[in-house]
Amino acid sequence: MVYLHKKYLLFLKWNIRVFLLLLVFVCMSFTPPGGEAEARHKALFIYSFIKYINWPNADSYDTFTIGILGKTDITAELKKICETKAIEGKTINVIALSEPEMVNECQVVFITRPQSFLLDVVLDVIEKRGTLVITEAKGMLKSGSAINLIKDGSKEGFEVSTAVLKKQGLVLPQNLLVLAVNVEVGPKF
């Protein structure tokens, strides 16, 4: 009886988290475009992904590093969000990357729209290291990004490639996958 009660509480706790995350996504999708608000929303998306992804190599690093390739307001917003947070018990370090070769020490790489042409270089550097690559330009999912932030009018959303996540040894919970505008599955690469 106690075992069932614990399972129910765990189930309830998980569903509350998913509901709150869904609420954040819905609220963010109906805000006006541009500027600081858009940067904050994208930073919240990125943090939400890294918070709920299963990180199999978490024991192999001391800090959790998010690298931002390209100049963007998202860097400052993500630093604000992550300054008091932790992933898998590790402090989060948000760094600006000036070169794609600097992604070696990152668990997450966010590639800004103007730097999208560097995706292939980033993918060559990280290979199968368990690195999450997030982009924000049209067509990047088909080019090898795991998660692509998209915008349709004033609505913000995301698309996911489960094949790329699998290649990197990462798992995005089903509860987040159902929130994606597009989920690409099947063999890739």
Name the CA radius of gyration of the chain, rounded. 16
Q: Is the pLDDT of residue 162 over 60?
A: yes
pTM exceeding 0.85 = no
**pLDDT of amino acid 9:** 54
Which residue from 17, 71, 81 is spatially nearest to 43, judged by alpha carbons? 81
| Cα angle, residue 53 at apex, residues 50 and 57 outer, rounded to 5° | 95
| Residues in CB range of 121: below 8 A, 6 or more apart | 100, 101
In contact, 157 and 180? CB cutoff 8 Å: yes
CA distance 63 to 107: 9
> In terms of pLDDT, which residue wins out, 80 or 87?
80
Please state the CATH superfamily assignment of the domain spanning residues 2-184 in this structure. Response regulator (3.40.50.2300)
**pLDDT of amino acid 5:** 55
Report the mean per-residue pLDDT for the chain. Answer: 82
Of the chain, the percentage scoring pLDDT greater than 90 comes to: 37
- Name the pLDDT band for 30 (thresholds 50, 70, 90): very low
